Structure 1
């Protein structure tokens, strides 16, 4: 029972969770690891529902400082060409001092790598490396992101980088492409580059909101072929068409959340107006007059990616079906009272089918809120606990594409006729 901000926590997975061996030889399973990683959820009782928790984000508490250096990648995909940015977390005092040299065109605490530094990138160390995807129109500077990764960075045991969605966080675009929830090619290229550049580092994934949707779609597309050893997705909207309809069905959802999200995307398009006009046939005057997120998606995502309606885009880009094809340990965190990622979109049935996934829900928390008394953010605790456990206590080589000794494909319980990766927008992942 909820009382004074104490949220109820539930776990959903298969009756027989994924078998995992620890480094000390002891046997465990994914559900047991997740339960041990998720502490009690005691939130600020004054922020008593999902709206309060979500809107309190606007208070913009400073949060723990994390410093970055930015590298620009040229996309290697023949169709989805152009450039994108990746921000690498740094802790060396000399690097942190460079904040004083910060380029005002970059986010706070971020500088560009020098040419000499870029030439020296790469090592043979075996430190775990975390690949992070931020939320809609966000970046590595977001407070919710820094609360989750700061303890890992400050421990001195982890390396981390944030893949910046095209055009976000003051990154430049060199084509007419921004990004969408199906945009998995940049994270795929980054992971391949990391595996080549740091061959001994075990790689892990972390995604927030829209970034959680992208990461889940990537994991589903790659299956057991992904170099990632485990991942966490936080506040994934899962079924975008459901969440969109739920937002449009209420006054606050339509006129507050849809409008705020639409405004952020309109600002993004405004910054890249020249590129959009140069590389696309989009009517930018019409695009920049849109107020709500679904209107923006109709005016941009549809003509850019060939979707007939924004609803078709939402259905195609949703990640609930991708969850069925995930083949690495995945912890998914969602708040049931999240007003943006609606509880009606939560993939309980899919999580109950795939032993590689555990869906953890809290009855309180809002969208990327989980504010505790004193301003802390609860979600950082299970994220760090799970990743530390997987990186330092689990025999990662014992995890493979088998479930209880049997090879799996599609739906392991009810056959393989259903293809969870069937898409209407065909993308050649190998180009």
Structure 2
């Protein structure tokens, strides 16, 4: 054949060139997006008709007066430029050398037979001024006081005011079965169950009657804190709260995790495995979850098959595990088990309680959070509320907000600690003579080993100095935190 007439198809080269150009435009677009996000101001959504607190100051005035960090904005670490990077790093990095603390654990048996693990720092043996603030902290899904984001917050809250802290005491509420808390009830916890938090608040109120109390929640724990503030309303013993990465719309968050996007599938799969791994030790016959009277009993064959089948585990979705576990044993009241996942998500949605909150509350969320997406943020409900402020930050991911350098002692510096302390300190400073006074004095009665306040009762089971909690419970082992 005459070489002059030979023909070599150019389609592969054209396709490769087109893909290269598309990839360049894709990378350039995201680079511009990341750069512009770094300079985007934090958006604050306030109530349209804010109500004054007992000191005559509204939450709008409080934020304007105290929260300088919300005005200055957040600049993510250059090496963690987007939400996926921040989220994955928060879950996968080694934080074992950071914020090493030793808690004093109080095990509380409650009236339904359940057990709460309340980790206190500094220990009760350390004497603080009677009016030193006490902060209740709720961890995320299957987490505990060992989580790096919890330890970091505890360290800063308990630092002296002169060192940038709150000068108080922290109590981390480890939900049932979490962080080595023994599971002694036939049900677990969920975003709709506030019994453990309420009991912890009343217990610490008896130990520190003159102390102003506050609440801080992370992710699932933030949802519990939001609901609690709303349930208690005008009678809430907490003087204010901060909720971080709160899934305020449970349906949007849950069904959003069913997206086929590869990274979203990773988050959904990780959360599913966290739930599965947390209940696996309780599938033995002697466990209350496996007892025939437990609502989970009918799902045991399917759950056990999941633990044994790799093929089924790699296709798991968060919504499926919530349907199997949270819908059936996510609380102990007469509503359980729920017939449908939709019914459970509607009931447990913390956004339903925003209008009932009567204490200054600051919600902080990242718009690039790949788990609690911006689509679940209830701007309308915030504007119609009386005491809530929503701060939306362009960067930060889920439980990330790293702003430190690539190397050095400040590498794991987290930004969200600053607005949290500013907000809580602002409430303390607004009227120091009234903050420590409760609207209603506690009427405590003792019956043997039990302590009662109204219909809420508890028994202190043990006091243990918990050592080795700096990352020993699985957070540093590669699971995504929530």
Could you say whether these structures have the same fold, taking a TM-score greater than 0.5 normalized by the shorter chain as the test? Answer: yes
Change in CA separation of 1:36 and 1:372 when aligned onto 2, cut-off 3 Å? closer
Deviations 1:17-74 (A, max 9, x none): 4445879x99982341464353421111232221111111111333322321111101
Change in CA separation of 1:309 and 1:144 when aligned onto 2, cut-off 3 Å? same
Change in CA separation of 1:384 and 1:123 when aligned onto 2, cut-off 3 Å? closer
1:389 is the counterpart of 2:426: yes
Query: Any stretches of 5+ residues in structure 2 without a counterpart?
Result: 1-32, 162-166, 307-312, 330-335, 406-411, 438-453, 457-482
Change in CA separation of 1:282 and 1:153 when aligned onto 2, cut-off 3 Å? farther
Correspondence for 2:99: 64
Correspondence for 2:257: 247
Q: In the TM superposition, what are the counterparts of 1:225-244 in structure 2 within 5 Å? A: 225-244=235-254
Q: Equivalents in 1 of 2:44, 2:58: separation in Å?
A: 23
1:361 is the counterpart of 2:392: yes
Match of 1:141 among 146, 161, 184: 146
Q: Equivalents in 2 of 1:394, 1:270: separation in Å?
A: 49
Secondary structure at 1:136 match in 2: coil
Measured on the aligned residues, the alpha-carbon RMSD in Å equals 2.9
Match of 2:204 among 194, 205, 225: 194
Q: What is the CA-CA distance between 1:121 and the residue it aligns to?
A: 10
Q: Equivalents in 2 of 1:349, 1:319: separation in Å?
A: 14
Q: Equivalents in 1 of 2:48, 2:436: separation in Å?
A: 18
Q: What is the CA-CA distance between 1:286 and the residue it aligns to?
A: 1.3
Larger relative contact order (C-alpha < 8 A, sep ≥ 6)? 2
Could you tell me whether the CA contact under 8 Å between 2:83 and 2:370 is conserved in 1?
yes
Correspondence for 2:80: 47
Of residues 281-290 and 139-148 in structure 1, the stretch that sits farther from structure 2 once superposed is: 281-290
Secondary structure at 1:248 match in 2: coil
Change in CA separation of 1:26 and 1:207 when aligned onto 2, cut-off 3 Å? closer
**Which one has the largest radius of gyration?**
2
Moved over 6 A (4+): 25-28, 120-124
TM-score (norm 2): 0.71
Of residues 249-258 and 171-180 in structure 1, the stretch that sits farther from structure 2 once superposed is: 249-258
Change in CA separation of 1:209 and 1:88 when aligned onto 2, cut-off 3 Å? same
1:299 is the counterpart of 2:324: yes
Q: What is the CA-CA distance between 1:165 and the residue it aligns to?
A: 1.0
1:161 is the counterpart of 2:171: yes
Query: Any stretches of 5+ residues in structure 1 without a counterpart?
Result: 92-116, 401-428
Q: Equivalents in 1 of 2:219, 2:269: separation in Å?
A: 17
Q: Equivalents in 1 of 2:263, 2:251: separation in Å?
A: 14
Q: Equivalents in 1 of 2:59, 2:221: separation in Å?
A: 32
Q: Equivalents in 2 of 1:328, 1:294: separation in Å?
A: 32
Match of 2:184 among 164, 168, 174: 174
Change in CA separation of 1:277 and 1:398 when aligned onto 2, cut-off 3 Å? closer
Secondary structure at 1:370 match in 2: coil
1:322 is the counterpart of 2:364: no
Deviations 1:244-297 (A, max 9, x none): 111112323552011100111111001222312135224324124163321111
Q: Equivalents in 2 of 1:396, 1:212: separation in Å?
A: 29
Q: In the TM superposition, what are the counterparts of 1:80-99 in structure 2 within 5 Å? A: 80-90=112-122
Could you tell me whether the CA contact under 8 Å between 1:17 and 1:29 is conserved in 2?
no
1:343 is the counterpart of 2:356: no
Change in CA separation of 1:45 and 1:121 when aligned onto 2, cut-off 3 Å? closer
Q: What is the CA-CA distance between 1:300 and the residue it aligns to?
A: 1.6
Correspondence for 2:344: 313
Correspondence for 1:283: 299
TM-score (norm 1): 0.79
